[in-house]
Amino acid sequence: MKKTILLSLVCLFHLVSFAQPGKPALRIRHLVDSFYTYVSYGEYNGQNYPANAMYMVTDDGVVLFDTPWGEVYYQALLDSIQIRHGKKAVICISTHYHEDRTGGLTYYNSKGIETYTTRLTDSLCIVNKQNLATHHFTGDTTFIIGGHSFEAFYPGPGHTQDNIVLWFPTEKILYGGCFIKSSSDKDLGNLNSANVKEWGNSIHRLQNHIGKPAYIIVGHNDFTNLNSLAHTLEMVQAYNAKVN
- Structural domain count of the chain: 1
- Contact (CB, 8 A) for 133 and 115: yes
Name all contacts of 8-16 with Cβ < 8 Å and 24+ positions apart.
8/60, 9/58, 9/60, 9/61, 9/90, 9/91, 9/145, 9/146, 10/60, 11/60, 11/61, 11/88, 11/90, 11/112, 16/80, 16/84
What is the spatial distance between Cα 112 and Cα 91, in angstroms, rounded to a whole number?
9
**Beta-strand relationship, 173-177 and 215-218:** parallel
The model's pLDDT over 101-131, given as tens digits with 9 standing for 90+, comes to 999 999 999 999 999 999 999 999 999 999 9
Q: Would you state the pLDDT for residue 201?
A: 98
Q: Where residue 33 sits, what CATH number does that domain have?
A: 3.60.15.10
33: left (phi over 0), alpha (psi -120 to 50) or beta: left
Q: Would you state the pLDDT for residue 10?
A: 36
The model's pLDDT over 217-235, given as tens digits with 9 standing for 90+, comes to 999 999 999 999 999 999 9
What is the spatial distance between Cα 119 and Cα 142, in angstroms, rounded to a whole number?
16
Q: Would you state the pLDDT for residue 20?
A: 52
- Average confidence score pLDDT of the chain: 92
Tens of pLDDT, residue by residue, the chain (244 residues) = 566 655 544 333 344 444 455 789 999 999 999 999 999 999 887 889 999 999 999 999 999 999 999 999 999 999 999 999 999 999 999 999 999 999 999 999 999 999 999 999 999 999 999 999 999 999 999 999 999 999 999 999 999 999 999 999 999 999 999 999 999 999 999 999 999 999 999 999 999 999 999 999 999 999 999 999 999 999 999 999 998 7
- Contact (CB, 8 A) for 242 and 200: no
pTM (whole model) above 0.85 = yes
DSSP H stretches of helix in the chain? 74-85, 99-102, 105-110, 119-127, 196-210, 228-243
Beta strands in the chain, from DSSP E residues, in sequence order: 3-7, 15-20, 23-32, 35-44, 47-58, 61-65, 89-93, 114-118, 135-137, 141-145, 148-153, 165-168, 173-177, 215-218
Q: Would you state the pLDDT for residue 44?
A: 82
Domain region containing 175:
3-243
